[in-house]
Amino acid sequence: MSTTRMLVAGTRLHLALAGRLPLDAPGLLASTRAFPLGPDRVQVVTDLRRLEDLFDGQCLDDLPGLPSRASRRRQIEFIGGRLAAERALARAGANPEAPVARGSRGQPEWPAGWTGSISHTASHAYAVATRASGPAGIGIDAEVVVDSRTRADILSICAVAEELPRLERLGRENEAATLLFSAKEAYYKCVFPLARDFVEFDEVVLAELDPATGRVAVEPTPRTRFDGVLPRARGAFRIQAGILFVGLVADPSTGGAEYA
């Protein structure tokens, strides 16, 4: 087992919550197509407000895999994300007994032969699952479109010079900055199985952006520490009700050796 992997709680949350939470409660878990990904990628969303209501003040500290010393809000987010991931895996055809474990950096560790990604907003947790086709995977990110003040912060921290003309094509500055941040977050999740480390914002670039179709691509720059390791990832974004959704899938022909 890799030293960076710390599998915890080999019990699915669905089983651990039996008798404590009505998982079939209306409005709790639902299929979604929020992320512009292909039909073979199963997507599920958990309503975190509904989840909190159903727990009705229960102590959650004994549930398997929860981050240590997590706040109540973080506990709800974690449970909502893992429930969505387990439901997505089951609907995609995975072994219903296989858990989505928690790695040493908090990342989801998917069952062998499967991959996926999890993202949260203040009110919802999203997950996508699909069969793995290589060492890299899939990455999703959902973000509330930022305001002008946060936009300036994002550009100062996340942007490299060559990205600015592409962002201008979108025409909506706050949405463009949100897209830049969100696409790089999705890319980090997509390639974590290869990198096993945080990928800095200036190590990757938003290489393509087509405002008409929503198509995007992110790829490593010559500044990356992961020379020859990280692949290009392609995908798309959409904006709905003030939330920007990005989904990326690694292109295995452009990289894919695990970082040593």
pLDDT tens digits, residue range 86-118? 999 999 999 888 889 888 888 899 999 999 999
Nearest 5°: CA angle at 151, between 146 and 152? 155
The answer for residues whose C-beta is within 8 angstroms of residue 171's C-beta and 6 or more apart is 211
Q: What is the pLDDT of residue 157?
A: 95
8-22, 97-111, 185-199, 202-216: the lowest-pLDDT one: 8-22
Number of other residues whose CB lies within 10 A of the CB of residue 57: 7
**pLDDT (mean) for 219-226:** 88
23 or 145, greater pLDDT: 145
For 122-179, the DSSP string reads: SSEEEEEEEE--SSS-EEEEEEEPP-HHHHHHHHHHH--GGGHHHHHHH--HHHHHHH
Q: Residue type for 162, please?
A: E
Q: pLDDT band for position 5 (50/70/90)?
A: very low
Q: What is the pLDDT of residue 256?
A: 55
pLDDT tens sequence across 122-161: 999 999 999 998 777 899 999 999 999 999 999 999 999 9
Q: What is the pLDDT of residue 225?
A: 87
For the chain, the DSSP string reads: --TT------S-HHHHTTTTS-TT-TTTEEE---S---TTSEEEEEEHHHHHHHHTT---TTSTTPPTT--HHHHHHHHHHHHHHHHHHHHHT--TT---EE-TTS-EEPPTTEEEEEEE-SSEEEEEEEE--SSS-EEEEEEEPP-HHHHHHHHHHH--GGGHHHHHHH--HHHHHHHHHHHHHHHHHHHHHHH-SPPPGGGEEEEEEETTTTEEEEEE-TT-SSTTTPPPEEEEEEEETTEEEEEEEE-GGG--PPP-
Average model confidence (pLDDT) across the chain: 89
Would the pLDDT of 163 be above 60? yes
**pLDDT (mean) for 3-8:** 35
254 or 120, greater pLDDT: 120
Cα gap 137→129, rounded to integer Å: 10
Q: What is the pLDDT of residue 134?
A: 76
Instruction: List domains and CATH numbers for the chain.
Output: 13-132 (3.90.470), 139-254 (3.90.470.20)
pLDDT above 90 as % of the chain: 68
Residues 218 and 206: beta-carbon distance below 8 Å: yes
Residues 245 and 142: beta-carbon distance below 8 Å: yes
Q: Give the global pTM.
A: 0.91
